[in-house]
């Protein structure tokens, strides 16, 4: 499986993402600049965290118009796995690939620490390696991670089982219903504020995030295995 790690001006977690899939997962990965005109050669798309375009206007609002986003949308429509972490999640929301929006943390402060997440849905291509209701430890680092959507959207998320991760215990940012990560209705686009790529080795303080990437590869292999 070959991953594209999308790099925007201001991305600062692209190296972490590359390390997670290349060195820890053992998959192929390449950095892809924001002006790329094709993602056809890649099996999975990764949008890392950071401050794309300096977070001007609002987080992800400018990156949404980058040339590569046309290809990200095309990949998502084709059913390829698309993962957006932190700023990547914000970009997916701005691009309309996921419903809802991000607001400033309710504390109005940047938060950087490890939090507990609860796996609400382990039946997605991103979470199948986890147990349902499993509690995992994943770092967060954001100033605008307060997820919000209207009542109708929230009802749809619940009805379609699109809420994949929630904050367990203390809600660090005021996110609606403790939401930390959601998928689209098709189930191939995941956005989450916590950073699984920063939790892929015990040397980093924990490896709970590695299962997310293992889930992607497992699902991809099962879908592409040649049956003799």
Catalytic site residues?
Answer: 86, 195, 197
Domain region containing 94: 2-224
The mean pLDDT value for 3-19 works out to: 97
Query: What is the SS3 assignment for the chain?
Result: CEEEEEECCCECCHHHHHHHHHHHCCCEEEEEECCCCCCCCCCEEEECCECHHHHCCCCCCCHHHCCHHHHHHHHHHCCCCEEEECHHHHHHHHCCCCCCEEECCCCCCCEEEEEEEEECCCCCCCCCCCCCCCEEEEEEEECCCEEECCHHHHHHHHHCCCEEEEECCCCCCCCHHHEEEEECCCCCEEEECCCHHHCCEHHHCECCCHHHHHHHHHHHHHHHCCCC
Binning pLDDT at 50, 70 and 90, where does residue 223 land? confident
How many domains are there within the chain?
A: 1
- Residue-wise pLDDT for 20-67, tens only, equals 999 999 999 999 999 999 999 999 999 999 999 998 888 999 999 999
Give the pLDDT band of residue 1 (cuts 50, 70, 90).
very high
CATH number at residue 162: 3.40.50.880
Prediction pTM value: 0.96
Average pLDDT rounded to a whole number, residues 121-134? 97
């Amino acid at each position: 499986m070959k991953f594209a790690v999308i790099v925007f001006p201001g991305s600062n977690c692209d190296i972490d993402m590359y390390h997670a899939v290349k060195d820890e997962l053992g998959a192929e990965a390449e950095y892809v600049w924001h002006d790329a005109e094709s993602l056809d050669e890649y099996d999975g798309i990764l949008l890392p965290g950071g401050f794309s375009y300096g977070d001007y206007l609002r987080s992800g609002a400018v990156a949404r118009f980058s040339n590569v986003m046309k290809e990200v949308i095309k990949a998502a429509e084709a059913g390829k796995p698309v993962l957006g972490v932190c700023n990547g999640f914000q970009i997916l929301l701005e691009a309309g690939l996921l419903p809802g929006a991000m607001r400033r943390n309710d504390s109005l402060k940047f938060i950087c620490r490890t939090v507990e997440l609860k796996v609400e849905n382990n039946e997605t291509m991103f979470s199948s390696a986890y147990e349902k209701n499993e509690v995992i430890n994943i770092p967060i680092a954001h100033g605008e991670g307060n997820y919000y959507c209207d009542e109708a959207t929230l009802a749809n998320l619940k009805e379609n089982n699109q809420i994949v991760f929630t904050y367990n215990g203390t809600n660090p940012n005021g996110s609606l219903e403790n939401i930390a990560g959601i998928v689209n209705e098709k189930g191939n686009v995941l956005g989450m504020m916590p950073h699984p790529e920063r939790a892929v080795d015990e040397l980093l303080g924990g490896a709970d995030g590695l299962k997310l990437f293992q889930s992607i590869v497992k699902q991809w292999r099962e879908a592409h295995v040649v049956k003799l």
